[in-house]
Amino acid sequence: MSRKQYDLLFDWFECTFKHTELSILFRDFGIDVYDKRLTITKAGFIYYNTTFTLGEKIKFMVSLKDPTCFDKGLGSILTNYDRNMGVHLILSGYGCREFEKNFTFWWLLDYCKENKANMSRIDIAWDCFNDDLIKISTIKYYLKNGFVVTKARKALIFDEVETETGVTTGESVKFGSSASETMCMIYNKLQERKSADYVIDPEITHWVRIELRIRGESCSNLVQIINQNNFTEVANSALFNYLDFKEKNGYAQRSLWDTAQWWSEFIKVSSKLKLSSKAIQTSIQRKKAWLELSVSKTLAKVFLSDLEDTYGEQFNKLFHEGIKMFNELDMDQINAHRIEKGGSVLSGDDMFMIKKTLEDCINADGEYL
């Protein structure tokens, strides 16, 4: 297959800046507060009540001391927030991929250190796109037979099954508690994506993810020691010190058993990996999957209910109105997807012609032909 067989990536990044003003953060992150890609919502979590979202998943959260600040305009929101709560940054999995379009994580790690950010969580993921070494069935077998040495006291095997069909839609093994500072999840990422009706590259026939979630003091300690040169070594050390799969030998103590050959091979492979930033699925693919799953049935019902009178009219109207609402972020996502598929970039002239063609379908009374 053309795609790499293994990937190593950051899949979550979360911290709080208590000594850096929101306006300074925006300046250093290259964010224009009037950028159309930046949205502000009256929502948040962990006691934060306002969220600035750049793009889709890059989130800065603050807590307004006075909720009416939201109604007083942007300037009031930027200045009248609780400094003691600080600014909470969250990059989810896709947020990490968005962030990497303009910055590197090495820049972000250095920035967090320089500005004394309180680290909350970092997830490191190893994606396995072939079934030579890492299989969920093998993980389950070794766990059930007591051939695992781990710092976790317990592990949870989870299979999600459709009740009507009996089809398995999710497989995962979790080592440790979600509340603990370190936890490891190994799960069938391909199955998870397909069961959620995501659009997946047909070349991907196997995709298991090993995800190490590090929180609290362990997260802070990790950030202090990792850099671009030692990241792979440190990440692998964190994983393999937490989890080891064993084969019995002459010793009674499990920790003295030999490491399983397949796990040893994976250790060798992963030690050669470099940090990856390529998203397996583009933003447009995510939207396409959502459209097919959540909207297609409703659209079909609307069209068929007026089939004789408005066949095609409803779609033209929706398409035309939708294009009129496009902003810079929308065009960036469209063109990024077109480039990845080998297509050309849609210019301003191209969009003008598309709009003109749609407008030609409207009669003098403003009705769609």
pLDDT digits (tens, 9 = 90+) for 180-201: 999 999 999 998 887 776 667 7
- Kindly report, residue by residue over 10-24, the tens digit of the pLDDT: 999 999 999 999 999
* 313, 215: one domain: no
The verdict on 217 and 304 lying in the same domain is no
Beta strands at 182-188 and 87-91: parallel, antiparallel or unpaired: unpaired
Q: Are 252 and 343 part of one and the same domain? A: no
pTM equals 0.76
149 vs 247: CA distance, rounded Å: 11
Strand order in the sheet with 243-247: 148-150, 243-247, 258-259
> What is the dihedral sign for C-alpha 141, 145, 150, 154?
positive
Question: Is there a domain that residue 279 lies in?
Answer: no
Range of the domain at 145: 6-18+86-270
In a domain, 44, yes or no: no
In this structure, are 330 and 187 located in the same domain? no
Q: Which of 43-57, 228-242, 320-334 has the lowest mean pLDDT?
A: 320-334
- Alpha-carbon dihedral sign for residues 197, 334, 279, 96: negative
Residue 204 has pLDDT above 50, yes or no: yes
Residues 196 and 124 in one domain: yes
Do 330 and 258 share a domain, yes or no? no
Name the residue among 260, 239, 252, 237 with its Cα closest to residue 143: 260
Among candidate residues 235, 270, 305, the one where a domain is terminated = 270
Q: For residue 62, count other CB atoms closer than 10 A to its CB.
A: 23
Quote the number of domains for the chain. Answer: 2
DSSP secondary structure string, 131-186? SSS--HHHHHHHHHTT-EEES-S-EEEEEEE-TTT--EEEEEEEES-TTSSEEEEE
- The 10 Å Cβ neighbour count of residue 213 is 22
Q: What is the mean pLDDT of residues 342-359?
A: 72
